[in-house]
Structure 1
Amino acid sequence: QGIINSGNESEVWAFSGMAMLMQWRRGKTCWSSFSSNLFSVCRRRTSQLVDDLKQCGGFRVGIVGAGPAGFYTAQSLMRDFSLLELQNHAARIQVDVLDRTPIGNGLVRSGVAPDHPEVKHVQNRFQDFLAEYQTDTHKMNFFGNLNVARSTQPDIIETENGVEVPLPILRNCYHAIVFSCGSEGERRLKIPGNQLRGVYSAGAFVRYYNAGLPPNDVNSDYTEDTNISRSSKMAIIGHGNVALDAARIILKGRKALETTDITNQALDLLDTSTINEIHIFGRRGPAQASFTNKELREMFEIDDCQVYIAKEDLTELNEASQLEIKSSRTHKRMLALMTKKGTLISKEEMIQAISNTRNEKTHKKCFIHFNMSPVEYIASPQDPNHVQEVALEKTVLSGPANAQRAKGTGEISKLQDCGIILESIGYFPIPIGGVPFQNGIVMHSEGRIVDANQTPMEGLYASGWFKR
């Protein structure tokens, strides 16, 4: 996927102006020009890397991560530095955007669903940033295939995906480093059966249909040998946009997605799908759902698909949840949208749908369940290494508004004939060697990274999801 190797020495791609991007069109590699003003595409050998990063004699900033947070941080630095230049004509700044992939663009390229091309247009704006700042005093560069080491290794290491550079070496190259590398770690449920085949993170499935590279800490990923023709049902755990994206891609099928930039491997996978029923589970209620109304509305617009919701979940809310909805315009609209567009059935009918083993192929179905949490993934008797059932516990909410927690009631239901499960329960930043973390969160004060004594670390900053 665009990795350059020259003998035994890995190379880093440096795009001055990044006027050319590598894109994957249905799994095929091609070069696309986004600008008539083509800048040079250079191959940087590892031995030259440090000198390349120090090429500017002015103020040097390295931004780790070439997604939206990285590019918007770079743009802000350039614009703010322009004000300084008016007062000091000698002011010069170089901003290098570093990314572990060959092309960058972060979740805009690898996370946005293929049927949302309008969202991906922001990539063109990123190219404009790079083309705009190519002057004697303002220089912006992109370095791909460059990964900041997650360990505290002392030297640059060449890998099959480029190079890993330890933080101390980078700090010698820049006056300031901003970590904008997002939250690539995927939270997983620690319940019995989570090691079974067929149980994946939703992020792995998203990377599969977007041809994205896996995070640094992922050893296994969603692969085409785990197909979606084993059963008629699929379970998705989580009530966020990624969960709805995954469900929508499966339910739409190949024909509706052929004109998008989805990969060929994903299209072929959809061809084999026997899934006509998807169950989306969340441990809390509609007042706490984190998907957007746009994503929810698109679920109701899928051809030949009914979206079922228990009417009690929308009407029998506790006092704290009612207060949350009353104070949130988004959730008011969400509740109205589900009430108007959803196929409302009783809670008892929803439970029956979970336990039903019949494969009725009349139309596609999607069930959005609230107040249900998985407690065990159960293997198939015919294949003890592959999942076939999900045991779910009914939950109730307790606590004040905006701080309610779900507690199990002991009431268990089982979703049967379920050959694939996607977990979409959140993300976290992956630690970087030399950057202080506490309880899985980078230590910072308003974006400035601090040590264990809350003392600012000189020249180290964080932006975007990395500092959440």
Structure 2
Amino acid sequence: MKLRLAIVGAGPAGIYAADILLKQERAFDVSIDLFERLPAPYGLVRYGVAPDHPRIKGIINALRDVLDRGDIRIFGNVNFGTDVTLDDLKQHYHAVIFSTGAVRDAPLGIEGVDLDGSYGAADFVNWFDGHPDVPRTWPLEAREIAVLGNGNVALDVARMLVKHPEDLLPTEIPDNVYDGLAASPVTDVHVFGRRGPAQVKFTPLELRELGELRDVDMILHDEDFDYDDASKAAVASNKQVMVIDRVLQAWRKRETGSASRRLHLHFYAKPLGLVDDGTGKVSAFRYERTRPDGEGGVEGTGEIREIPIQAFYRAVGYFGSPLDGVPFDEEHGVIPNHEGQVLHSESNEIVPGVYATGWIKRGPVGLIGHTKSDAMETISHLVSDQSNWWSPSHPDEESVEALLTERGVRFTTLDGWHRLDEHELSLGTERGRERVKVVPREEMVEVSLGGADPVVDAPTVDA
């Protein structure tokens, strides 16, 4: 008996699920195909994290080691729902795991959120990470910018907006992104959180990175550091909160006033709305000052404040996207499931042969460690669910390639990813950098398929 398994989504969640299954003791052989709608693997590690994060290289190296063993096939540039459907998978596999993540911005219900100059963090992250399916340019015309959110995505967005672009040249930042950031007139970036400094969702490493920015003053406000008993207890009892507090307290003592750019951290700020300048553009961020409620939460004070801005970014969370033929929870943005076993939306009965892992399974929370434990749980059910597997009519490996070829899908493979990877590294070498990421999808596919060296249409950036 051989399990033919399809995994839709070649980010960390999908790759870890494949790796865990291949290493697990089982009474049957396994053959795994990863389907990815982008021409390159790694998902949010490649397209969802700021390029100057030091830990990303280690994560990508671990994922590369898994793929380079050669026991997992990749079909890149294949879109589930059009190039290949759920019915197709049932004809060629015994089961499928969806690991498609969460790539949309969660909604924010405040007045003026649709004004010109109001953006979702996910869209901005896609742009500065060189995602092939977003516009090549981004409107960076604001001097004063607000970022709403107290998690690591908010820090990424704020850091990329305020950091001097030449300091990003050691990274794999695409040329068009460098050019856009270099033209930005920004002087002030304001980060707002609903609760206090002891309740933030930042991790210490990401927070520390902010304080290392060249020619950027960190601006904090004394009124935010009058801790109540709950905040004092959080600092005293939680090592991570203690480190975060230590970093913030050190920034409060710094001299400011000499830098050309400023990063302001505001706490106890409940968003109320964005102010229209009369022409449909953002002119200010309006919020209510909150205060501790004594139990770790906050309550309103009735004091309304406004800060002048010309751009606003909401970093309030990611949201999953529905998949053709697969149950979907519209309220939470996930595939309904029990420990990774997908459930019918109405009856809560198990859908045979269909599983989920990662953010599309549990929502966009947690780090890589959570992704691994997620995958272990899902794989455990998959292995013990043989009676629920599909009975494919064409389980042979060659039939899938034939299907995609017949439909004219220009799919990429692991060898193709190696070609693209080497090409990006060579572009970096030419510019005295480690890597320059290729952005246009067609160019990615052309390089992956072994076509002639394409002409890079973005200008060269000198290191």
TM-score, normalised relative to structure 1: 0.71
Partners of 1:290 and 1:243 in 2: how far apart? 10
Q: Does residue 1:199 correspond to 2:118, yes or no?
A: yes
1:368 CA drift (Å):
0.6
Q: Does residue 1:261 correspond to 2:172, yes or no?
A: yes
Q: What's the counterpart of residue 273 of structure 2?
A: 376
Partners of 2:86 and 2:299 in 1: how far apart? 42
Q: Does residue 1:455 correspond to 2:365, yes or no?
A: no
Q: Determine what percentage of the aligned residue pairs are the same residue.
A: 34
Flag the 1:370–1:339 CA change in 2: closer, same or farther, 3 A: same
Flag the 1:324–1:175 CA change in 2: closer, same or farther, 3 A: farther
Flag the 1:222–1:414 CA change in 2: closer, same or farther, 3 A: farther
Q: What's the counterpart of residue 79 of structure 2?
A: 147
Partners of 2:75 and 2:163 in 1: how far apart? 37
Q: What's the counterpart of residue 445 of structure 1?
A: 338
Q: Which runs of 4+ in 1 moved over 6 A?
A: none
1:408 CA drift (Å):
3.4
Q: Which amino acid aligns with 1:58?
A: K
Q: What's the counterpart of residue 130 of structure 1?
A: 67
Q: What's the counterpart of residue 52 of structure 1?
A: none
1:409 CA drift (Å):
3.1
User: In the alignment, which of 310, 326, 335 is matched to residue 419 of structure 1?
Assistant: 310
Alignment of 1:219-234 (within 5 A): 224=137, 226-228=139-141, 231-234=142-145
Query: Is the Cα contact below 8 Å between 2:164 and 2:214 reproduced in 1?
Result: no
User: In the alignment, which of 357, 367, 374 is matched to residue 264 of structure 2?
Assistant: 367
1:127 CA drift (Å):
3.0
User: In the alignment, which of 103, 107, 110 is matched to residue 47 of structure 2?
Assistant: 110
Flag the 1:340–1:280 CA change in 2: closer, same or farther, 3 A: same
User: In the alignment, which of 317, 325, 328 is matched to residue 238 of structure 2?
Assistant: 328
Q: What's the counterpart of residue 31 of structure 2?
A: 94
User: In the alignment, which of 274, 277, 281 is matched to residue 386 of structure 1?
Assistant: 281
Partners of 1:343 and 1:167 in 2: how far apart? 58
1:224 CA drift (Å):
2.9
Higher relative CO (CA 8 A, sep ≥ 6), structure 1 or 2? Answer: 2
Instruction: Give the number of the structure whose residues are more often strand, by fraction.
Output: 1
Q: What's the counterpart of residue 270 of structure 1?
A: 181
Q: What's the counterpart of residue 4 of structure 2?
A: 60
Partners of 1:361 and 1:387 in 2: how far apart? 28
Q: Which amino acid aligns with 2:314?
A: E
- Structure 2: gaps of 5 or more residues: 363-463
Alignment of 1:400-415 (within 5 A): 400-401=295-296, 404=297, 406-415=298-307
1:367 CA drift (Å):
0.9
Query: Is the Cα contact below 8 Å between 1:310 and 1:344 reproduced in 2?
Result: no
Flag the 1:415–1:223 CA change in 2: closer, same or farther, 3 A: farther
Partners of 1:436 and 1:106 in 2: how far apart? 22
Q: Does residue 1:396 correspond to 2:396, yes or no?
A: no
Query: Is the Cα contact below 8 Å between 1:202 and 1:242 reproduced in 2?
Result: yes
SS at match of 1:148: coil
1:179 CA drift (Å):
1.4
Query: Is the Cα contact below 8 Å between 1:108 and 1:120 reproduced in 2?
Result: no
1:370 CA drift (Å):
0.6
Deviations 1:139-184 (A, max 9, x none): x1111122223xxxxxxx3xxxxx2x33233233221211111112
1:420 CA drift (Å):
1.4
RMSD: 2.5
Q: What's the counterpart of residue 465 of structure 1?
A: 359
Q: What's the counterpart of residue 22 of structure 1?
A: none
1:335 CA drift (Å):
0.8
Partners of 1:409 and 1:69 in 2: how far apart? 42
Partners of 2:39 and 2:348 in 1: how far apart? 35
Q: What's the counterpart of residue 300 of structure 1?
A: 211
Q: Does residue 1:181 correspond to 2:181, yes or no?
A: no
SS at match of 1:331: helix
Query: Is the Cα contact below 8 Å between 1:108 and 1:119 reproduced in 2?
Result: yes
Q: Which amino acid aligns with 2:111?
A: P
Partners of 2:339 and 2:183 in 1: how far apart? 49
Alignment of 1:74-93 (within 5 A): 74-80=18-24, 83-84=25-26, 91-93=28-30
Partners of 1:372 and 1:447 in 2: how far apart? 37
Partners of 1:454 and 1:325 in 2: how far apart? 42
Q: Does residue 1:319 correspond to 2:229, yes or no?
A: yes
SS at match of 2:264: strand
Q: What's the counterpart of residue 120 of structure 1?
A: 57
User: In the alignment, which of 252, 262, 287 is matched to residue 198 of structure 2?
Assistant: 287
1:312 CA drift (Å):
3.4
Query: Is the Cα contact below 8 Å between 2:341 and 2:351 reproduced in 1?
Result: yes
Partners of 2:304 and 2:73 in 1: how far apart? 55
Flag the 1:199–1:223 CA change in 2: closer, same or farther, 3 A: farther
- Structure 1: gaps of 5 or more residues: 1-56, 135-139, 150-156, 158-162, 215-220, 346-359
Partners of 1:263 and 1:333 in 2: how far apart? 34
SS at match of 1:442: coil
Query: Is the Cα contact below 8 Å between 2:121 and 2:157 reproduced in 1?
Result: yes
Partners of 1:320 and 1:169 in 2: how far apart? 55
Q: What's the counterpart of residue 169 of structure 1?
A: 88
SS at match of 2:162: helix
Q: What's the counterpart of residue 154 of structure 1?
A: none
SS at match of 1:299: helix
Query: Is the Cα contact below 8 Å between 2:216 and 2:259 reproduced in 1?
Result: no
TM-score, normalised relative to structure 2: 0.72
Flag the 1:102–1:274 CA change in 2: closer, same or farther, 3 A: same
Query: Is the Cα contact below 8 Å between 1:311 and 1:344 reproduced in 2?
Result: no
SS at match of 1:341: helix
Partners of 2:125 and 2:156 in 1: how far apart? 8
Partners of 2:270 and 2:67 in 1: how far apart? 46
Alignment of 1:29-40 (within 5 A): none
SS at match of 2:248: helix
Partners of 2:37 and 2:140 in 1: how far apart? 29
Flag the 1:398–1:208 CA change in 2: closer, same or farther, 3 A: same
Query: Is the Cα contact below 8 Å between 1:65 and 1:180 reproduced in 2?
Result: yes
1:205 CA drift (Å):
1.4
